[in-house]
Structure 1
Amino acid sequence: MPDLPTHRQEHDVTIAITGATGNIGGAVARALAADGVPLRLVVRDAARAPQLPGADVAVATYADRDAARAAFDGVDVLFLVSGAEARDRLDQHRTVVAAAADAGVRHVVYTSFQGAAADATFTLGRDHFWTEQAVRDTSMAHTFLRDSFYLDFVEDLVGEDGVIRGPAGDGAMAAVARADVARVATAVLRAPDRHLDRTYDLTGPAAITLEQAAAVVSEIRGRPVRYHRETVEEAYASRQRWEPEPWLADAWVSTYTAIGDGALAKVSGDVERVTGQRPMTLRQVLEARGA
């Protein structure tokens, strides 16, 4: 059964949400505000913060330890949405985690990555591992939500020519809908004490290959979409037209190699265990997204 709000939460626990202007943070903030849960929305730009009942707004970036420390003052539970991809993202994460500890935050709920490890094939998964370690190195409790790749992103992999290109071979990924990640986070924040020091793998209901994904996109959108297997060398070469920095090129290419080596093929039942609902399929995500 899904977790429900408790009397203690409604009156005694202060929850801060970062990333409230984004997809997951915004969805979580709206769901909790609808429940009447008082919130603090920590954003970079106050003008972009959603207007929600019972929510106050604090301004801070992950890289500004003093501002983050002030924003987290009096906060018990922090929903920490991972920062935007950047060369220094891990440094930013370490700074904001230290600020939360300084402010006396008791519990961090962090959006991590499936298979996060120091040597993760997906290079950005390494940032998530070391961010988890930064949280573990404090006295704060944690809940790590290890998301797979997002099903919402699959359609964005399709080029203008209707082709998904990458060195994923025949590998499969148990990609998850952003909506399901938000539902899990909301359930955790409604009853955080039930999820202390837990790690959840958040996946969709099945592992799908990029060939299967292309077929679903093609059917739902009514246009031909196919998957082309690149070599790693071809993948780096085909992305040079965007002139990415080396770290970003590595991240783009390793998105596919992580699928290819099976790092993201494991299907977990944690979405349903935490929320009481089965996770969405790619078809459902595309249909919900509309044309």
Structure 2
Amino acid sequence: MTRADAFIVLGATGHIGSVVARTLLRDGHQIVAVVHDEAKAAGLKSLGAEIAIVDLGDPQALRATLRRGRRAFLLNPPAPVTTDTNAGETRTATSIAEAVGGAGLEKVMVESTYGAQPGDAIGDLSVLWNFERAVGAAAIPAAINRGAYYYTNLDMLPDEARQGSITTMFPAQLKIPMVAPADLGLAAARRLASPLDDVGIRYVEGPEAYSFDEVAAAFAEILGHAVTVRTIKRSEWEASFMKAGFSERAAHAYARMTEVSLAGFDMPENPIRGAIDLRDYISTLVKEKSAG
């Protein structure tokens, strides 16, 4: 593999990065899959990917890996919710951005989020806003995809839905942009491989916006019984997160992130549209949970 051929993919075994990696391989590109657990990368290795075990908190080691390719997909992994997520994710984002500087890349693709903005302890919204700008400081052509509310946030709901209700912090009738991580991966792979002038911020969401009433209706249709929505009051949010295993600091950050998001979702006029709709995702989710 020569530098002129290779694309570097961070988080290559995750929900988004795995789709980026497999799409690039399918399209004939050579990739270096950056992972922290080689055992999880066996499938990618069998498809022809090179595997690099790298600590994303080590900018020198990561820079050396980035120098093996000409373009890179950059994803800041989530910190364990049992820790101070804001602090942990900020450290990793800073390290990745530092590694990009001096790596000699011709283009990067940055995975970010709807609502990215400066702020104090507002989770991904501020962490990824700062990440966008830190990577941009390297003066490398950068495509930035801001993804809508992940369908994977619904993965904890099937057991509740089987009991006849689901809980959320969002008003039941509020329509919000949602997207499947697989669609985010496809969009990222396309922009990573696109011409050098395809840069700047684009928004990525699913076929349409959905409300939690519609989430409940999808579960009801698939499970064959009524499913209602219970919206948790703001005063209960942090306790709810902590009951689910979040640290106190993580619970505060996630509650603040939800609060800021509710104050005004990005509603771009021309987003990149994914193909996976809500019902299809929930149908697959229910089958997988039943099989598990």
Scaled by the length of structure 1, the TM-score of the pair is 0.84
Task: Give 1:12's aligned amino acid.
Answer: A
Q: What residue in structure 1 maps to residue 40 of structure 2?
A: 48
Equivalent residue in structure 2 for 1:211, among 201, 213, 218? 213
2:6 equivalent to 1:14: yes
Alpha-carbon distance in 1 for matches of 2:177, 2:276: 11
Q: SS of the counterpart of 2:108?
A: strand
How much identity, in percent, do the aligned residues show?
24
1:5 alignment partner in structure 2:
none
The alignment status of 1:176 with 2:179, answered yes or no, reads yes
User: Which residue is 1:74 aligned to?
Assistant: 68
Q: Give, in angstroms, the shift of residue 225 of structure 1.
A: 2.6
Q: Summarize the Cα distance change of 1:81–1:223 in structure 2 as closer, same or farther, 3 Å threshold.
A: farther
Deviation at 1:113, TM superposition (A): 0.2
How large is the Cα RMSD of the aligned pairs? 2.6
Asked if structure 1 preserves the Cα contact closer than 8 Å seen for 2:76 and 2:92, the reply is: no
1:107-129 per-position Cα deviation (integer Å, ceiling 9, x unaligned) = 22111001200139953211010
Name the CA distance, whole Å, in 2 between partners of 1:18 and 1:174: 25
> Take 1:243 and 1:37, find their aligned partners in 2: how far apart are those partners?
40
| SS of residue paired to 2:154 | helix
| Alignment correspondent of 2:16 | 24
Deviations 1:34-71 (A, max 9, x none): 22211111111223222244421212121011211221
The 1-side partners of 2:193 and 2:9 are apart by 13
Assess, with a 3 A threshold, how the Cα gap between structure 1 residues 180 and 99 changes in structure 2: closer, same or farther. same
1:67-216 alignment, distance < 5 Å: 67-85=61-79, 86=85, 87-119=87-119, 123-157=123-157, 160=160, 161-169=163-171, 170-195=173-198, 197-216=199-218
1:16–1:77 Cα contact (<8 Å) kept:
yes
| SS at structure 2 position matched to 1:17 | strand
Inter-CA distance 99–256: structure 2 relative to 1 (3 Å threshold):
closer
> What residue is the counterpart of 2:82 in the other structure?
none
3-state secondary structure, aligned to 2:109: strand
Separation (CA, whole Å) in 1 of partners of 2:195 and 2:11: 19
**CA–CA distance in 1 between the matches of 2:269 and 2:226?**
31
Q: Work out whether residues 176 and 279 of structure 1, in 8 Å CA contact, stay in contact via their aligned partners in 2.
A: no
Range with bigger deviation, 241-250 or 168-177: 241-250
Q: 2:28 aligns with which of 18, 31, 36?
A: 36
Runs ≥4 residues deviating over 6 A: none
Between stretches 102-111 and 17-26, larger displacement belongs to: 102-111
Alpha-carbon spacing, 1:152–1:47, altered in 2? closer, same or farther (3 Å): closer
| Partners of 1:243 and 1:34 in 2: CA distance | 38
Does residue 1:271 correspond to 2:285, yes or no? Answer: no
Q: Which moved more, 1:217-226 or 1:126-135?
A: 217-226
**CA offsets 1:196-240 (integer angstroms, 9 cap, x no match):** x32111112322221221111221233443211221112223333
Alignment match, 1:261: 263
Cα distance in structure 2, aligned partners of 1:54 and 1:158:
36
